[in-house]
């Protein structure tokens, strides 16, 4: 029963592991893109500029109210068109095709970004007002204030939330298998179709996802412990 | 923007609304029953009950819904004993596979919400109820349950929205609900932006109605002061 997972050309073991690697890669790049989007839109939500607030709120409402699959279809079918349209403005007239990895990263990153926005906004809000005032009193502004005083505190508070976003993002990448990117989901579909053993391969996929979530849980827990050194946890009080 | 196409496709896509709502409501009701059982198992204090419940929730929350759907739809049908069993007429239908998968998924997620709701009921209420001479069943039905419902409602509203979104996945196993119809029109007309706007607005309206209804229910039920 397990010979189907042998390595090399006869089995699917190495292909499945490569699929798992692809899942981790596309999840990680989507998470990073999402955090970047999150920082920008959290700044918009926290700003006093009305139009920026509207834009950021529209973005998070749409992403949280519309199925992920629709967002992926939009970018899968419309992504290349949009890039070509922008390229045309800059004078490039050729045909541009985005690969599945790029489209997947943009789509899942856009979804992940909406969740990150809320996590980062909450974290910035929970930094004590006195920190901002103290920083300003010391004559800091711009990078000095936000980069050196606020960011390290926000990062610490946001870490558990980002851990949750990571789990959501990891599972959302399964959806981009419909665009042809060969990650765990797609690979197990291919293997299941070719060996007529769907049960075994979907079970293997379940195990791979559980292993990845377990490992990343451990990593996030460690990071949380590292970054909360010097802080008394609520449980200890 | 091709507005005429948007107008035409709107009438095609709304034909998918009944299927979406049907699948969501059936799986939500069945999933709620499952969630209550799993939540009660988890807080039962008996290891033989709480451990299986814990791993069930862990398994479902740790894997993508699409994978669960494939597992039920393609994976189970591999075995001849399932194909020959009395369950096969149900398991061979994508419709029922979709409902089964969504039920299991929402059952696992909601069980955590319900567990949190039950645990949030202050011990004082339980003690007061005991002092008034109510037995365990009466305490649960008259004290714990109403407070749990009130406490769990906001989180459960989110879960309902997630269910509406999750139901889009059943389009992958050939069911023609909102997303399925939208996808077909996109591949025929190659107008992803227009169709996305139409289908997306329909989902937003459905979810907006859910938000309003849950908000109304929250206000109707009032607030619970913990102590």
**What is the dihedral sign for C-alpha A103, B159, B32, B59?**
positive
B107, pLDDT greater than 90: yes
**Cα of A145 to nearest chain B Cα, Å:** 36
* pLDDT given at position A236: 47
In a domain, B216, yes or no: yes
Please tell me the distance in Å from B17's CA to the nearest CA on chain A: 14
Q: What is the mean pLDDT of chain B?
A: 92
Chosen from A1, A77, A79 to mutate, greatest number of chain B CBs within 10 A: A77
**How does pLDDT run across B115-150, given as a tens digit for each residue?**
999 998 888 998 999 999 999 899 989 988 888 988
Residue B13 lies in domain: 3-221
Residue B101 has pLDDT above 50, yes or no: yes
Domain with A22, as residue range(s), is 10-128+162-229
| Number of domains, chain B | 1
Instruction: Evaluate whether residue A152 is within a structural domain.
Output: no
Token code pair at residue A120: 């980062």
B226 domain residue, yes or no: no
Would an 8 Å CB–CB cutoff place B79 in contact with chain A? yes
CATH of the domain at A170: 1.10.3720.10
In a domain, B101, yes or no: yes
The helix (H) or strand (E) run that includes residue A34 is helix A13-46
Classify residue A235: in a domain, yes or no. Answer: no
Residue B81 inside a domain? The answer is yes
Supply the pTM of this predicted model: 0.89
Of B42, B175, B189, B164, nearest in space to B105 by CA:
B164
Query: What's the pLDDT score for residue A233?
Result: 57
Contact B193 A67 (CB under 8 A): no
This model of the complex carries an ipTM of 0.88
Please report whether residue B156 resides in a domain. yes
Give the alpha-carbon dihedral of B122, B123, B129, B133, to 10 degrees. Answer: 170
Nearest to B11 by CA among B148, B202, B188: B202
A3 within some domain: no
Q: Residues B31-46: pLDDT tens digits?
A: 999 999 999 999 988 9
Q: Do B66 and A68 touch (CB under 8 A)?
A: no
Q: Report the number of distinct structural domains present in chain A.
A: 1
B127 assigned to some structural domain: yes
The rounded percent of chain A whose pLDDT value lies above 90 is 61
Residue A210 inside a domain? The answer is yes
- What does B8-42 look like in DSSP terms, one character per residue? HHHHHHGGGHHHHHHHHHHHHHHHHHHHHHHHHHH
The set of residues, in sequence order, having a beta carbon less than 8 Å from that of B105 and lying 6+ positions away, is B31, B60, B65, B68, B166
- CATH number (domain holding residue B116): 1.10.3720.10
Q: How far apart are CA B9 and CA B2, in angstroms?
A: 11
**Cβ–Cβ of B74/A202 closer than 8 Å?**
yes
Residue B34 belongs to a domain:
yes
SS3 B52: helix
- Report chain A's terminal Cα–Cα distance, integer Å: 53
Q: What is the pLDDT of residue A237?
A: 45
Residues (pLDDT < 70) of chain A are 1-2, 232-237
pLDDT beyond 60 at B226: no
């Amino acid at each position: 029963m397990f010979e189907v997972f042998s390595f090399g050309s006869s089995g699917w073991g190495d292909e499945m592991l490569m699929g798992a690697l692809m899942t981790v890669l596309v999840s990680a790049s989507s998470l990073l893109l999402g955090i970047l989007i999150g920082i920008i839109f959290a700044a918009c939500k926290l700003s006093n500029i009305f139009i920026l607030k509207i834009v950021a709120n529209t973005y998070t409402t749409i992403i949280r109210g519309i199925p992920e699959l629709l967002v992926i279809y939009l970018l899968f079918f419309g992504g290349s068109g949009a890039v070509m349209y922008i390229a045309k403005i800059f004078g490039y007239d050729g045909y541009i095709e985005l690969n599945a990895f790029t489209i997947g990263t943009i789509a899942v990153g856009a979804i992940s970004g909406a969740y990150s926005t809320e996590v980062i906004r909450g974290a910035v809000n929970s930094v004590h007002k006195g920190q901002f005032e103290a920083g300003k009193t010391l004559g800091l502004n711009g990078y000095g204030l936000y980069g050196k005083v606020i960011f390290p505190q926000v990062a610490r508070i946001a870490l558990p939330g980002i851990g949750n976003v990571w789990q959501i993002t990891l599972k959302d990448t399964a959806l981009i298998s419909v665009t042809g990117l060969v990650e765990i989901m797609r690979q197990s579909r291919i293997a299941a179709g070719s060996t007529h053993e769907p049960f075994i391969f979907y079970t293997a996929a379940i195990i791979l996802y559980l292993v990845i979530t377990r490992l990343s849980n451990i990593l996030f827990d460690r990071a949380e412990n590292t970054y909360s050194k010097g802080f008394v946890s609520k449980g200890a009080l | 923007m091709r507005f005429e196409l948007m107008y035409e496709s709107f009438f095609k896509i709304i034909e998918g609304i009944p299927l979406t709502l049907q699948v969501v409501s059936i799986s939500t009701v069945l999933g709620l029953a499952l969630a209550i059982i799993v939540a009660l198992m988890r807080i039962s204090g008996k290891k033989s009950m709480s451990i299986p419940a814990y791993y069930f929730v862990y398994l479902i929350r740790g894997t993508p819904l699409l994978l669960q759907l494939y597992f039920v739809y393609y994976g189970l049908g591999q075995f001849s004993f399932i194909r020959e069993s009395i369950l096969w007429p149900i398991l061979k239908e994508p419709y029922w596979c979709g409902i089964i998968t969504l039920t299991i998924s929402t059952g696992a997620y909601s069980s955590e919400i319900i567990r949190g709701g039950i645990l949030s009921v202050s011990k004082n209420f339980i003690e007061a109820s005991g002092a008034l001479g109510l037995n365990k069943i009466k305490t649960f039905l008259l004290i714990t349950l109403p407070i749990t419902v009130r406490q769990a409602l906001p989180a459960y509203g989110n879960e309902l929205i997630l269910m509406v979104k999750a139901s889009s996945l059943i389009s992958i196993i050939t069911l023609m609900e909102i997303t399925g119809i939208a996808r077909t029109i996109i591949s025929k007309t190659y107008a992803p932006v227009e169709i996305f706007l139409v289908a997306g607005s329909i989902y937003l309206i459905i979810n907006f109605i859910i938000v309003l209804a849950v908000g109304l229910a929250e206000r109707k039920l009032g607030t619970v002061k913990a102590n």
